[in-house]
Amino acid sequence: MRRKLSIFLLISVTVFYSCKAQAEQKKQPNIIFFLVDDLGWTDLGCYGSSFYETPNIDKLAKNGVKFTNAYAACHVCSPTRASILTGKYPATINLTDWLPGRNEFPFQKFSNPKINQHLPYEEITIAEALNVKGYKTAFIGKWHLGEDPSNPVAHGFDMHIPEWDKGWPKKGYFAPFEMKGLEDSKDGDYLTDRLTDEALKYIAINKENPFFLYMSHYAVHDPIQGRKDLVKKYSEKLKDKDKNNNPAYILEGNPDNPNNPSRKELDSLINTPDYEAYKILPKGTVKVKQKQDNVEFAAMVESMDESLGRIIAKLKELGIQDNTIIFFYSDNGGMSAINFGNSKRIVPKAQQDIAYSTSNLPLRGAKGWLYEGGIRVPLIVKWPGKGMQNAESSTPVTSVDIFPTILNMVGFPEGIGKDKEGVDISPLIKGETINRGPIYWHFPHYSNHGMQSPGGAIRDGDYKLLEYFENGTVQLFNLKNDIEEQKDLSKIEIEKTKELKEKLHKWRKKVGAQMMKPNPDYNALLKAEL
């Protein structure tokens, strides 16, 4: 019923404007949503990287607005992707983990709640809304929001390349790709380049129509495989790279573990024999990469930058650059901690380059963590003729804001999309201000990246509170003063801690967030071994 009502409202708008439909259609801006997988907040030149080269993205930032406090709705991919397309929090649509989700193990104190295994059909997507406005829509690249038949076409897109629904490339980044709908031109072709080829074809075919291109790269997700010419380039560059004083790795523990070692203890343990391996280490600790020096990953980043450059060049060639809005975004933080899956996995040292990709410094943590390193991401928006240029916005924004923002950009009347939980951030792009309320996270699952306890978080103004579900541990940070999240204020600013915790609990109740139940197979002895 809700879906039918929403469609009715959208159709009503179209009928209302039907007398001007053809004239307006020509004026409607094209929209390119360029999404990168697992790109960290500091993995771009314009966000501080001195090793990775991203000239095209840096230029985009100079021609648009760079958001310095942008977030993904989750620290893993599928929930964030669902939030982008629907304008709703993952908890609201009960899609709170990557699909199909991690296996359960007896060391888990709680069982994961059952989640939707595909993007709910009743939810209106950006593509469906734009279809009503006469837009042609295409989804190229990674979907990861359900297996066929729950593919992009089933959710409003006119086309989908490739027809592969999992969250990683089937055979890696080099042809043959063996993904239906994506022709293997020759062995050795690089996946990022081939997906870009398809994007350029689509743009050329639809140059006379308003179009929405959702360019969703598999890169820079593992396996970490860079294009050979760029790997060679960065191998040479690494020889001349200034050596910083950062250690190669630091140890991080589970903050919800009652026996979690202090920072001082962790720093003293990392060089001891028990902590030499690359696995879930004693006391539930893991190694987190502290340097951007992976040449394979660097090559993947630059290939992705080249992709954006080729797309912008095509827009310019066709004379539609000034009528095309571009969003550049990532679905979660960088993978500076290995995807272990279970506590017994060991990654051989020789495979570190395909396992540990980047460093998120100065942010703490990694993909799969509620610390800033897992959820803070780059966001750049270029809105020709209306948006600022070479500007920054420090207002916190999140992936649920994308849908209502696009609705405004293409001229949907105020009131359409009221069921969306995001905030229209188009005023920020134009240099205005908005009243941004709290941003929420909910992850009732065990993480693949370091076995972090399930938990949730809230950011409200400068403050961020994290609450873990196993033992009820709470952390409070002032991000303005402590972007590294090293100074837990929960025992000092007691009233602020209480206030944010109450807001988080109230929000969970409001959206019907699923919570965990005791695991009937729980083995406390196995838990103690971690």
Q: Could you give the CA distance from residue 487 to residue 259 in angstroms, rounded to a whole number?
A: 18
How high is the pLDDT of residue 260? 87
Q: Could you give the CA distance from residue 501 to residue 463 in angstroms, rounded to a whole number?
A: 12
pTM equals 0.95
Percent of the chain scored above 90 by pLDDT? 78
CA dihedral 112, 118, 122, 123 (to 10 degrees): 90
Q: β-pairing, 70-71 with 455-460?
A: unpaired
DSSP per-residue letters across 379-444: EEEE-TTTS-SSEEE-S-EEGGGHHHHHHHHTTPPTTTTTT--S---HHHHTT-------EEEEE-
Higher pLDDT, 9 or 147: 147
Which pLDDT tens digit goes with each residue over 353-388? 777 899 999 999 999 999 999 999 999 999 999 999
Collapsing DSSP to helix, strand or coil, 240 comes out as: helix
CATH code for the domain defined by 2-11+31-432+521-529: 3.40.720.10
* pLDDT greater than 90 at residue 276: no
Q: What distance, in Å, lies between the first and last C-alpha atoms of the chain?
A: 48
**Both tokens of residue 500?**
């944010």
* pLDDT greater than 90 at residue 451: no
In the block, tokens 């209106």 appear at 124
Contacts of 240 (CB under 8 A, 6+ apart): none
How high is the pLDDT of residue 397? 98
Q: Could you give the CA distance from residue 506 to residue 460 in angstroms, rounded to a whole number?
A: 14
Lowest mean pLDDT among 21-25, 136-140, 333-337: 21-25
How high is the pLDDT of residue 510? 97
| The amino acid at 50 | S
Q: Could you give the CA distance from residue 441 to residue 75 in angstroms, rounded to a whole number?
A: 9
Higher pLDDT, 183 or 305: 305
| The amino acid at 220 | V
Contacts of 414 (CB under 8 A, 6+ apart): none
**Both tokens of residue 86?**
């629907």
Q: Could you give the CA distance from residue 447 to residue 367 in angstroms, rounded to a whole number?
A: 9
* pLDDT greater than 50 at residue 5: no
Q: How many residues does the chain have?
A: 530
CB 375 within 8 A of CB 75: yes
User: Using CB atoms within 10 A of its CB, is residue 522 exposed (0-12), middle (13-18) or buried (19+)?
Assistant: middle
Which pLDDT tens digit goes with each residue over 512-524? 999 999 999 998 8
Provide the mean pLDDT of the chain.
Answer: 91
**Which pLDDT band, with edges at 50, 70 and 90, does 9 fall under?**
low
